[in-house]
Amino acid sequence: MTHEPRNDSALPPLPPLPPHRDPADAWVVAPSGERYWGLHGAAGLIAFDPLRGVLLQHRAGWSHHGGTWGLPGGARHGSESALEGALREAAEEAEVPAEALTPVATHLLDLRVWSYTTVVARVDSPFEARVADAESLALRWVRPEEVAELDLHPGLRTSWPALRPLLGLRPALVVDVANVVGSVPDGWWRDRADATARVLAGTARVVAAGLPASVFGVAAHSVLPETVAVVEGAARGAVAKGSVRVADAAEDGDASVLAQVEELRAAGATVVVVSSDRGLRRRLGDDVMTLGAGTFRSLMSA
Residue 121 has pLDDT above 80, yes or no: yes
Question: How many C-beta neighbours within 10 Å does residue 2 have?
Answer: 24
Has this prediction a pTM greater than 0.95? no
Between 245 and 134, whose confidence is greater? 245
> Of the given ranges (8-12, 70-74, 156-160, 250-254), which has the lowest mean pLDDT?
8-12
| Closest of 89, 114, 302 to residue 209, by C-alpha | 302
Contacts of 148 (CB under 8 A, 6+ apart): 157, 160
Query: For residue range 242-263, what is the model confidence (pLDDT) as tens digits?
Result: 999 999 998 889 999 999 999 9
What is the average pLDDT across 173-186? 96
Closest CA to 111 of 8, 10, 37, 162: 37
71-92 pLDDT, tens digit each? 999 999 988 999 999 999 999 9
- Looking at the predicted structure, is the pLDDT value of residue 10 above 50? no
Cα angle 143, 226, 249 (rounded to 5 degrees) comes to 145
Identify which has the larger pLDDT, 38 or 217.
217
Residue 86 contacts residue 120 (beta carbons within 8 Å) = no
What is the predicted pLDDT for the residue at 2?
43
Mean pLDDT over the full length of the chain: 91
| Secondary structure letter of residue 125 according to DSSP | S
Please tell me the distance from the alpha carbon of residue 95 to that of residue 156, in angstroms, as a whole number. Answer: 21
